Amino acid sequence: MSDKIAEFRALHVPGNPLILVNIWDAGSAKAVTAAGAKAIATGSFGVAGAQGRADGEDFPLEDVFANLDRILSVTDLPVTIDMESGYGADPEAVGVSVGRAKAAGAAGINMEDRLPGETGLLAIPDAVARYRAAADTGIFVNARCDTFLGADVEKDGDALVAATLERARAYADAGAGSLFVPFLLDPRCIGAICEGSPLPVNILRGKGGPTHKELAALGVARISHGHQPWAGAMTWLADQAAQVLGGAEPDY
């Protein structure tokens, strides 16, 4: 397993980003693997949604690992799973949950710096304690930093970049392997974070934001697609079902 973790870590290259088309189950993992992916990543929103559950650790931890086991059975690629806030009430519990993910075969995890259902970020010392507990297991930790969630980038961009870099330094010291900054489409802020971060930077691709090529030029090391593949698949399914049930022929 240490080889998979090292292999996954090596894929994070600023300027030559790892592209992750996030999946939700074994079937979607097979499809993305066959398309030529270098690694497989789950997204918690899609994983939960595929089972009729809500995002925010509503999907039981035992089901997270059962889903991981099925995914690992169909791909030899490194697999990273979205563990939301770490599935633990305190750092010790986070370490136990993340340690189980590593033992089960995950090469990496995503972990947030806010608790389920909360919009406010954890205080830096509290977030650091949780990230350190996760990183001490030896797994690759993608430390999600939600400083831009619901923020006014045009008004507060410089302050948000500074706050993000403060957390990036703290999370790096805690042993995180990369910094995930979602909900950010502004190229200037992305470039500034990539330039100042001690960790390789992961950006969530979004409509209206920079392209993959533009993100690479800004120094991004990892591009995620988050819930968008699952949402796109569900939209297509709903559209086709409405077409068929309305008396028309489907597109497939």
187-196 vs 153-173: helix axis angle to the nearest 10?
A: 20
For residue 22, being part of any structural domain is answered with: yes
Quote the CA–CA distance of 104 and 86 in Å, as a whole number.
15
Residue 156 CB neighbours (<10 A): 15
Give the Å distances, CA to CA, from 77 to 20, 29, 115, 212: 12, 10, 30, 22
Exposure string (b/e) for 7-32, b if CB count within 10 Å is 16 or more?
A: ebeebbebeebbbbbbbbbbebbbeb
For residue 169, being part of any structural domain is answered with: yes
Say what the pLDDT of residue 155 is.
95
Assess contact for 40 and 23: CB atoms under 8 A: yes
Say what the pLDDT of residue 54 is.
86
Give the range of the structural domain holding residue 194, as residue numbers without chain letter: 2-245
Assess contact for 41 and 79: CB atoms under 8 A: yes
For residue 229, being part of any structural domain is answered with: yes
Q: Which amino acid is at 166?
A: E
Say what the pLDDT of residue 56 is.
87
Assess contact for 215 and 203: CB atoms under 8 A: yes
Per-residue confidence of the chain (252 residues) as pLDDT tens digits?
679 999 999 999 999 999 999 999 999 999 999 999 999 999 999 999 999 998 889 899 999 999 999 999 999 999 999 999 999 999 999 999 999 999 999 999 999 999 998 989 999 999 999 999 999 999 999 999 999 999 999 999 999 999 999 999 999 999 999 999 999 999 999 999 999 999 999 999 999 999 999 999 999 999 999 999 999 999 999 999 999 999 999 999
For residue 187, being part of any structural domain is answered with: yes
Say what the pLDDT of residue 2 is.
73
For residue 251, being part of any structural domain is answered with: no
- Work out how many domains the chain is built from and give that number: 1
For residue 250, being part of any structural domain is answered with: no
For residue 13, being part of any structural domain is answered with: yes
Say what the pLDDT of residue 75 is.
98
Say what the pLDDT of residue 1 is.
63
Cα torsion through 82, 92, 96, 2, rounded to 10: 80
Secondary structure element (H or E) that encloses residue 20, with its range: strand 18-20
Helices (H), 20-117: 26-34, 44-49, 61-72, 91-104
For residue 38, being part of any structural domain is answered with: yes
**CATH code: domain of residue 30:** 3.20.20.60
